[in-house]
Structure 1
Amino acid sequence: MSKIEIACFNPESAMIAFENGADRIELCDGLNEGGTTPDFETTKKLRAKINIPIFVMIRPRGGDFTYSEAEFEHMEKDLIRLKSLNVDGFVFGILDENNQVNVEHNTILVEMAYPLPCTFHRAFDRAKGLEDSLEKVIDCGFKTILTSGQKPNVSEGKENLKKLVKLADGRLEILVGGGLRSTNIEEIREYTNAGYFHSSAITDGGALASADEIIALKNK
């Protein structure tokens, strides 16, 4: 059985994930933007109903991962507010204008989140350099990287994912996600030796996670 994190873009999906055996929820808003910071009240209500870990995305907008000072301040404020809800971790990733990992700003947010763990999200797949970016993310204090191996999806990125698992050597978790489905999870797991997997479990092009897909992901 695999460890499965479900990316949930609405409270309905979060409840479906919880009720069907997900190990963790990545809670966000903005499905069409690839995930943005979820609403405070939505998060508060879900926390009261869900007792599996909820990691909350901190991302002020869609688009690139290079933020202005005002946007960064907004991220800081969102993180502090959402931390008060007893969530279990945070998901974010900041690059500089050269698409390098922004060590300074990421480290500030990781320290603000402490003692909660942080995941560096798929901004990693836009970052320049596999090994160099991995080391920078580790230096910032992240516990996890969500990645498709710096390729468009996990199938194309499996060589790099295997390499990342080896290079990380237990210093942080490589969370495999991006086009991951119950139809390819076994092959990807065997090839990469990764232990944690991430999917929206949306199978119909809509906005809701599929209960059947979550169960299939868990049981593969």
Structure 2
Amino acid sequence: MVVLEVIATCVEDALLAEECGAGRLELITAITEGGLTPSIGMIEQVVAAVDIPVNVMVRPHSRSFVYGKQDVATMSADIKAIAATGAAGIVIGALTVDRGIDEAFLEQVLPLAGKLDVTFHRAFDELEDMVAGLRTLLRYHQISRVLTSGGVRPAPEAVPMIRKLVEITRDREAGSLSQPFSGHSLSILAGHGLTIEGIESFIEATGVSEVHFGSAVRLDSSALAPIDPTRLKDLVNKISYIG
């Protein structure tokens, strides 16, 4: 079954997304900046309003994905606060100055996440080497998925790379990884530039089991507009048919 994750920026979004059949929410603010951490009040209200999982963006600013000590301290405090709201998970990501995965960041914040579901977000798409980056993330068993468009281009333009990433996650021998999976399951969550009209062929071509939608399920495909229930239900029906 293909999981549909929908971006929510308010309680109204969350309720409508659940009503129309979304399987999970990514709760953010500042959608036009790629998503920042929403207020604790917003998180509490959304978690209380819906039954589907709510994964919360942890990103203090949109300058870059390279974070200093103060940024990491802010995100650490946010993760602790988010865990107390009853949210299902967090969405995080950090890079080194040479465009690699910031493992020091992961080692500092992942213990704070406890049992929260963890997504590594589209900072991944700015890596110097996405395959090497994925192999790094596979060593962190708390990370459940990677949100990616296969690079800086929209996902439909990066089908071969996304397919390659999916195949790496499904390779039980772990290819050239230094360590085997040891039972770790990590999914590729495809997002950015996906369309309702093209979703069936995209899923077939890439083999992804999770997809992420934002603007494409909103009125006039506008990031700042409300969710369009007709478009979202159409998408849910297409994905349900595939599943």
TM-score (norm 2): 0.87
The sequence identity of aligned pairs, in percent, is: 30
One-letter amino acid of the counterpart of residue 202, structure 1: R
Q: 2:204 aligns with which of 190, 195, 212?
A: 190
Greater CA deviation, 26-35 or 135-144?
135-144
Q: CA RMSD in A?
A: 1.4
Q: Which residue of 2 aligns with 1:159?
A: 160
Contact 2:155 2:193 in 1 (8 A): yes
Cα distance per residue 1:122-166 (max 9 Å; x no partner): 000001112100011122331100000114111111111100000
TM-superposed CA distance for 1:9, in Å, is: 2.1
**1:77-92, aligned counterparts within 5 Å?**
77-92=77-92
Q: Which residue of 1 aligns with 2:170?
A: 169
Give the Cα–Cα distance (whole angstroms) in 1 for the partners of residues 51 and 63 of structure 2.
Answer: 32
Cα distance per residue 1:47-83 (max 9 Å; x no partner): 1111110000100011310111101100000110011
Alignment pair present for 1:35 and 2:44: no
Q: How many residues align?
A: 220
SS of alignment partner, residue 101 of structure 1: coil
One-letter amino acid of the counterpart of residue 80, structure 1: K
**1:7-18, aligned counterparts within 5 Å?**
7-18=7-18
TM-superposed CA distance for 1:203, in Å, is: 4.3
- Unmatched 5+ stretches in structure 2: 172-184, 239-243
- Which has the greater radius of gyration? 2
Contact 1:28 1:56 in 2 (8 A): yes
Give the Cα–Cα distance (whole angstroms) in 1 for the partners of residues 10 and 99 of structure 2.
Answer: 30
Q: Which residue of 1 aligns with 2:131?
A: 131
Contact 2:20 2:236 in 1 (8 A): no
Q: Which residue of 1 aligns with 2:227?
A: 209
Contact 1:103 1:140 in 2 (8 A): no
Give the Cα–Cα distance (whole angstroms) in 1 for the partners of residues 153 and 231 of structure 2.
Answer: 21
- Unmatched 5+ stretches in structure 1: none
Give the Cα–Cα distance (whole angstroms) in 2 for the partners of residues 97 and 12 of structure 1.
Answer: 38
Greater CA deviation, 207-216 or 19-28?
207-216
Give the Cα–Cα distance (whole angstroms) in 2 for the partners of residues 217 and 111 of structure 1.
Answer: 36
Give the Cα–Cα distance (whole angstroms) in 2 for the partners of residues 137 and 8 of structure 1.
Answer: 26
**1:56-95, aligned counterparts within 5 Å?**
56-95=56-95
Q: Which residue of 2 aligns with 1:149?
A: 150
TM-score (norm 1): 0.95
Give the Cα–Cα distance (whole angstroms) in 2 for the partners of residues 70 and 132 of structure 1.
Answer: 28
SS of alignment partner, residue 29 of structure 1: coil
SS of alignment partner, residue 32 of structure 2: helix
Cα distance per residue 1:104-138 (max 9 Å; x no partner): 11232222112112000000000111210001112
Q: Which residue of 1 aligns with 2:105?
A: 105
